[in-house]
Structure 1
Amino acid sequence: MKNLIKSYILPAAAVSVLAITSCSKLDPKLESPNSIAPTQAGGAPTAPSIAAVYEQLNQLTGGQGNWFGLQEHSTDEIMGPTRGTDWDDFGTWRRLHLHTWGPDHNQINDTWNGLNGALFQTTLIAETKTGLEKAEGQFLRAYFRFLTCDIFGQVQSRPATAAASAIPDVLTRSAAIDAIIAELEAAVPALPAYNGANRAQATKEAAWALLAKAYLNKAVYKQAPTSPAGPYTFAAADMNKVIEYCNLIAANTNLAIDSYYWDNFKWDNGTASSENIFVRKPGGDARAGNGANLVWQTCQSWHYNQRPSSWNGFVTLSQFYDSFEGNDVRKSDTLAGYTNLVGPTAGLLVGQARGPVKPGSPKEPGSIGDPIGNLFDRSGNPLVFTRNASIFFNGEASGIRVNKFPLNPAEINGGGWGSANEFPFFRFSDVRLMKAEALLRGGTAGANGETALSIVNDLRSKRRATALGSVTLTSLLAERGRELYLEGHRRTDMIRFGVFNAPVEERPNASDAYKVVYPIPTISLSSNPNLKQNFGY
């Protein structure tokens, strides 16, 4: 695509962390995610290897910003408060939470560049290869098209045979979702069935999961560009397609709701999880690369004196925390082989922080292997995470912290970077909740005796939550939040349920309806005359 930078670094706040167990606040450089492929004599680019195309997923799992930031910071799940000069980052995170972004926002620009670089690379595979390799390219292009369609409402498109300098055509949101569905359906026959070992590769089940998500959100993407926030009309035929694809996935006996929620996220989730359909691995697989290191999920939120020593940044909103029952394992749970060595529970952290303390100096943080005790802040006061935080002014301990991907204790003294957590793009519990939603929205075919309530209560029973007496769209959105938080789904979900613009903690007023679609970056408008700025910007 035109004007694609070859690599980029996410913005960093001025946080100095000097312990040997620290994370680096500077995000890892994403190696050439948008590089233009070598060209043939005629000017058309040469297709990269399929492994290089899978590397495009790195941009989704390699840091706390961009795709993740746009999907989470704009919602009720996470917020980036300012602590003195720490985490101000020129208002980057604050503008996302307050819905005051514009076409000049750095995260919006970087996300657009990254996704379009991925579309360029995946097109070369999807349109020039054959057999399995072609089907993998089709799946990956459909996935990146889906993300671009969802976030920006327009998708650039150019044939693989075109010269690298050719100006792309632009698919409208309505045309893009149709193209995504058609490409996935064409790819499925050549893809392998999911068997657990191929979870980092495109499979039939991964394609069906994306098809279910495409049909579930189709009404959103078919909406007129001048009224992108709806109200939406969900066709029963589309909901029946959601159910059809969810049933196909459920028929695979290699997949089941895991009896222990945290098996899907902790350092051994590659072998422990029975739910993760399509993931990004941290390394050791030619198709997976090194893009899924999830140390940033911990470091973005934890205090400097926890282990690994972290950036003391993002927090969960108290109203989201309060949506969980006390016994819900997804809210908080003592994790065997972890809490006794590292200190925190898995889940959401509030109250007195605990971790390794230095023997003989209990107010100084220690290393893994030292006794676990109460932690203190940098002034020597007890480190007690409060329920609330301000978007503007905070102390060290303000806000509820997050531990969604518990790191391998054996790796934490080295900063945690060797932990083997995999990031799930598609998970079986999401599939089950999509079927429940489709049933609530008028789908009837393929219910197989299940109801939205029976599906939700089956899931809740495995999460130690009490059974519900009834389920509505409002309660289903809350259940999706509890089950899928910080997995990159929340903005898309809130838009579909019609509440994305509603006031939330630290944003007391409703935002403008057009904010359900992000703007096209200004520099991209100048490089492609086929692009038009989205309504409202």
Structure 2
Amino acid sequence: MNMKKMSFYFRLILSTIMLAATVSCVDDLDVEPQDDQNVLADELFQDIEGYQALIGAAYANLALTGPDGPESSNIANIDAGTSQYGRALMNLQTFSTDEAVWTYENDPGIGDIQRSIWSSNNVISAGAYARIRYMISVTNNFLAQSTPDLISSRGFNSEETALINQYAAEARLLRAMAYYHMTDLFGKAPLLLENDPPIGYEAPELDRVELFNFVEGELLDIEEELEEPRGFVGVDYGRADRAVAWMILSKLYLNAEVYTGQGRYADALTYINKILNEGGYSLANEYKNLFRGDNDVNEANSEIIFAIISDGITVQNFGPTTVMTNGAVGSLEQNGANLGVTEAGWGGAIRVSPQFADKMLPSDDRNTLITDGRSANITNITDPATGFILEKYSNLTADGESGSDLTFSDVDFPMFRLGDVYLMYAEAVLRDGGGDQATALDYINQLRIRANAPQINSGDLTLDFIIDERARELYWELHRRQDLIRFSLFTGGVYNWALKGNSLINGTGIASFRDLYPIPANVVQSNDNLTQNEGY
């Protein structure tokens, strides 16, 4: 049995679940903090433990949903499981694409997401918005308590002050990541900062370009204040270091043409190269070990840049890896033993579109499709016996040992990893960002060699190849919607898949306004400064 080591992350999560719930209780998907003077009182921050508790609340918000276990949530009016940060991203980045089909469309909101017919009242997109806003609230609370004057007045010594300042840089990083997700998913957001009034404040709206500039500026400003890459390995596993900032900057610049109308591929390559040359990361030898229950300590640790923590005992959640282990169990196959969960799992909850399955062939080690006895086409959404399934995530360890629980996953979700950086390097080169074509080819072939896939030649390295190779390498890692949009394949009718545009078998084109999700209707109504995205 793999038990996660009691790292910084877990010590703080276990000690701050209640604080995470108290700092900002979210009601009706309204994530403005309520009166929190009882929490943010001076006495709480008279020692370093108070600051550790509050930064822990921010990290905990990535993994946990509420104070009373995985079925509790500090966001009201949404299923607790779907409100988890990684799960929220999964719903919007994965189930809106060709990568996954959710069988149980009676679950509120998910059917409209996977059929491309969501509205501003969709509870899934509204829950994602609220969870991201909650991260902004918690990090703002930390930063409000970390001003030089307050730290000085509380009598901290130089060592404690340096530690609080480092936590503050991490808080700004987590806040920037939240605004990056707002930029990508919603395209606009109210700007809430640490000095803004906590109650009744109607924050100004930033458009997508302004959000881009804010995130960029924050990350550049804190870069040198963050821990060096891999500086927390073996010490404080789970904290975000400088390479996480570089990764977000790389993503921001790679998608800048979508976000701002101006390509920034050379800038993307600058920060991609920082990760490659200064990060100290290396590819795991076996692809499958990246998605196993001990990926915090097995060889995958060398490749994972940042992860959302899961643990079947200490950090139970219905996040993406719990969903993608239980959900991948086929109703016909009863293959739960392969995935470290109960034999029946969730009864065939997830299948893939035939269009996605086509990209996985010919087979290599990344192809975990199960096709025997199954038809590729999903002719009935509620019939889990149709459509292919796959087994990417497993709650077993790399050595085949059982996880700590048969429902809740031990698999840490790899939000950022080196394999993606290799693919981004090649794409930036192909988009005239600079770099070296031979190096790009080498990075791609390193991934393919690991996967026991045939190596490619320079003539094969095209943007069309890259988008399909990203599907093969990174499926179910919450990148697909963003990738399809960057390649002009998400909306319109150039590329269709089952359920797109509410067309069951082959899909149909959808309007370009769906490249963004709507601002939740109640959020727009609560702030006169906010406007709705076009089309909603």
With the shorter chain as reference, the TM-score category is: 0.7 to 0.9
Any residues of structure 2 matched to 1:377-392 within 5 Å, and which? 384-390=373-379, 392=380
* Map of 1:468 onto structure 2: 456
Residue number among 451, 467, 472 corresponding to 1:482 in the alignment: 472
Counterpart selection for 1:277 from 302, 305, 313 = 305
- The 5-angstrom pairing of residues 306-385 of structure 1 reads 306-307=335-336, 308=342, 309-311=344-346, 312-331=348-367, 347-351=368-372, 384-385=373-374
- 8 Å Cα contact 2:284-2:290 kept in structure 1: yes
Query: What is the CA deviation profile of residues 341-400 of structure 1, one whole-angstrom value per residue up to 9, with x for unaligned ones?
Result: xxxxxx22222xxxxxxxxxxxxxxxxxxxxxxxxxxxxxxxx4432213x455341111
Contact 2:33 2:198 (8 Å CA) reproduced = no
- Aligned equivalents of 1:285 and 1:208: distance in 2? 32
2:226 alignment counterpart: 191
Equivalent of residue 181 in structure 1, options 207, 210, 216 = 216
Q: Structure 1 residues 89 and 63, CA, compared in 2 at 3 Å: closer, same or farther? A: farther
Distance 1:126 1:323 in 2: 45
Aligned length: 443
Given that residues 123 and 160 in structure 1 are in contact (C-alpha distance below 8 angstroms), is that contact kept between their aligned partners in structure 2?
A: yes
* Rounded Cα–Cα distance in structure 2 between residues aligned with 1:412 and 1:110: 29
1:121 matched to 2:138: yes
1:216 to 254, 258, 272: 254
1:426 equivalent in alignment to 2:399: no
Q: Could you list the runs of 5+ residues in structure 1 that have no partner in the other structure?
A: 10-31, 82-86, 224-232, 332-346, 352-383
Return the match for 1:499 from 479, 485, 489: 489
Verify the 8 A CA contact 2:429 2:437 in the aligned structure 1: no
> 1:163 offset after TM fit, Å?
2.3
Taking the aligned partners of 2:207 and 2:405, their CA distance within structure 1 comes to 47
User: Does the alignment pair 1:255 with 2:285?
Assistant: no
* Structure richer in helix, relative to its length: 2
Find the aligned partners of 2:193 and 2:320 in 1 and give their Cα distance.
Answer: 33
Partner of 1:76: 98
In the TM superposition, what is the alpha-carbon distance from 1:292 to its structure 2 partner?
Answer: 5.6
Q: Deviations over 1:232-286 (max 9, x none)?
A: x52xxx2122111111111246311222111111112112202100012225999
- The 2-side partners of 1:261 and 1:186 are apart by 35
- Tell me how far apart the structure 2 counterparts of residues 91 and 291 of structure 1 sit (CA, whole Å): 16
The corresponding residue for 1:169 is 204
Shift of 1:413: 9.5
SS at match of 1:256: coil
Distance in 2 (alpha carbons) for counterparts of 1:42 and 1:482: 47
Cα gap change, 1:55/1:413 in structure 2, threshold over 3 Å: closer, same or farther? Answer: closer
Q: Cα–Cα, structure 1 residues 519 and 211, in superposed 2: closer, same or farther, change >3 Å?
A: same
For 2:511, give the aligned amino acid. Answer: D
1:480 CA displacement? 0.8
| Cα distance change on mapping 1:39 and 1:348 into 2, 3 Å | farther
Kindly indicate whether the alpha-carbon contact (under 8 Å) linking 1:424 and 1:487 is maintained by their aligned counterparts in 2: yes
1:415 to 406, 413, 418: 406
Deviation at 1:33, TM superposition (A): 9.1
Give how far 1:127 is off: 5.1
Report the AA paired with residue 476 of structure 1. I
Q: Is the 8 A contact 1:126 1:135 kept in 2?
A: no
Question: 1:163–1:294: structure 2 CA closer, same or farther, 3 Å change rule?
Answer: same
1:523 correspondence with 2:512: no
Change (3 A) 1:433 1:115: same
Quick check: 2:83–2:127 contact (8 Å CA) kept in 1? no
Q: Is the 8 A contact 1:267 1:407 kept in 2?
A: yes
Gap change, CA 1:250 and 1:528, over 3 Å in 2: same
> Are the counterparts in 1 of residues 86 and 320 from structure 2 also a CA contact under 8 Å?
no
Corresponding position of 2:59: 54
The 3-state SS of whatever aligns with 2:441 is helix
Aligned equivalents of 1:450 and 1:72: distance in 2? Answer: 32
Moved more, 465-474 or 481-490: 465-474
Cross-structure match for 2:513: 514
Which residue of 2 is the match for residue 39 of structure 1?
A: 37
**SS of corresponding position for 2:190:** strand
CA distance in 1: counterparts of 2:423 and 2:40, whole angstroms: 49
Contact 1:77 1:317 in 2 (8 A): yes
TM-score by length of 1: 0.75
Q: Does 1:395 align with 2:393?
A: no
Mapped to 2, the partners of 1:398 and 1:174 lie a distance apart of: 43
Match of 1:440 among 403, 408, 430: 430
1:534 counterpart SS class: coil
Asked if 2 retains the 8 angstrom alpha-carbon contact of 1:150 and 1:492, the reply is: yes
CA RMSD, 1 decimal:
3.2
Deviation at 1:116, TM superposition (A): 1.0
**What secondary structure does 1:270 align onto?**
coil
How far does residue 214 in structure 1 lie from its aligned partner after superposition?
0.7
Where does the alignment leave 5 or more consecutive residues of structure 2 unmatched?
Answer: 1-23, 46-50, 66-81, 147-163, 337-341, 501-506
Among 85, 90, 106, the residue aligned to 2:123: 106
Q: Secondary structure of the equivalent of 1:251?
A: helix
Trace 1:194-209 onto structure 2 (pairs within 5 A).
194-195=229-230, 196-197=233-234, 198=236, 200-209=238-247
Shift of 1:124: 2.5
Instruction: Give distance in 2, aligned partners of 1:430 and 1:42.
Output: 40
SS of the counterpart of 1:475?
helix
CA contact (8 A) 1:439 1:451 kept: no
Deviations 1:12-64 (A, max 9, x none): xxxxxxxxxxxxxxxxxxxx998647227999999861000111212699488
Q: 1:54 to 1:41 in 2, by over 3 A?
A: closer
User: Structure 2 counterpart of 1:101, which letter?
Assistant: W
Q: Shift in Å at residue 415 of structure 1?
A: 2.1
Cα 1:477–1:127 shift into 2, 3 Å: farther
What's 2:7 paired with?
none
Q: Aligned equivalents of 1:56 and 1:174: distance in 2?
A: 27
* Alignment partners' CA distance in 1, 2:55 and 2:112: 37
Higher mean alpha-carbon deviation, 35-44 vs 114-123, is at: 35-44
Mapped contact 1:62–1:294 kept (Cα < 8 A):
no
Structure 2 vs 1, CA of residues 293 and 520 (structure 1 numbering), >3 Å: closer, same or farther? Answer: closer
Tell me by how many angstroms 1:291 deviates: 7.4
Task: Give 1 or 2: higher strand fraction.
Answer: 1
Write out aligned runs for 1:147-158 (5 A). 147-158=181-192
